[in-house]
Chains A and B, each alone.
Chain A
Amino acid sequence: MEDIENSIYALKTSAGQERNVARLLARKSKDSGVGICSILVPESLKGYILVESSTKIDMRNPDIKVPHLRGIVEGNKDITFEEVKKFLNPEPIISSIQKGSIVELVSGPFKGERAKVVRIDESREEVVLELIEAAVPIPVTVKADQIRIIQKEAD
């Protein structure tokens, strides 16, 4: 099987508009002759999208003029496919959480509260937390994507 030789470009977008830019760019590339094969919007890259293209992407090309597209990331080295691979299979957030970690809740009724991880349920991607500032420690079960790690492991 022959290898596919495409270049991967990182494009800067307005924060929060990554998906819209990707969809608009895909639609525009279909109508024009730009050789975009795929567009990747990893959740971990805020404000950037990765575009796989068989032709060189030039911001001056009117065919890729899309609202909220801010520019192309220039660099001496090209983005290799190996680097992109790790975005294709994102590892679950839960694998980076350890028992005893200090986390902050980012959504739900306890938003903004700090808590300590007491138990991890990997199969259901849930964690049991104990709020630090609560007078009485009450275990709270939340989904792993509702927390942000502040400190990997408490001393």
Chain B
Amino acid sequence: MNACTSCKMLSSKERCPVCGNPTSSNWSGLLVITNPDESAVAKELGISLAGEYCLRVR
């Protein structure tokens, strides 16, 4: 899995399918957002799309 260096979303692609930024395989921490509208965590991080995210990417 790779993480987008900008939005931190996890994907298996070379470029993030959401924002098009390059992805990196060096990431840590996992965050699964299932309901972004009702999640305080998603609100805090400004996430509006459900999916898998990392907490830190390098």
- Name A residues whose Cβ lies closer than 8 Å to a Cβ of B: 4, 6, 18-19, 22-23, 25-26, 29-30, 35-43, 52, 54, 81, 84-85, 87-90, 92, 125, 145
CB-based A-B contact count at 8 angstroms: 81
A90 vs B39: C-alpha distance when bound (angstroms): 19
Given A23-B52, A88-B55, answer yes or no on A38-B39 (Cβ-Cβ < 8 Å): yes
- Are B40 and A41 in touch, CB under 8 angstroms? no
Given A38-B35, A88-B55, answer yes or no on A4-B40 (Cβ-Cβ < 8 Å): yes
Given A4-B39, A37-B38, A37-B39, answer yes or no on A22-B58 (Cβ-Cβ < 8 Å): no
Given A4-B38, A4-B43, answer yes or no on A22-B32 (Cβ-Cβ < 8 Å): yes
B-side binding surface: helix, strand, loop or mixed?
A: mixed
- Are A43 and B29 in touch, CB under 8 angstroms? yes
Determine which residue in B28, B34, B52 has the highest number of CB atoms from chain A within 10 A of its CB, and name it: B34
A59 vs B50: C-alpha distance when bound (angstroms): 25
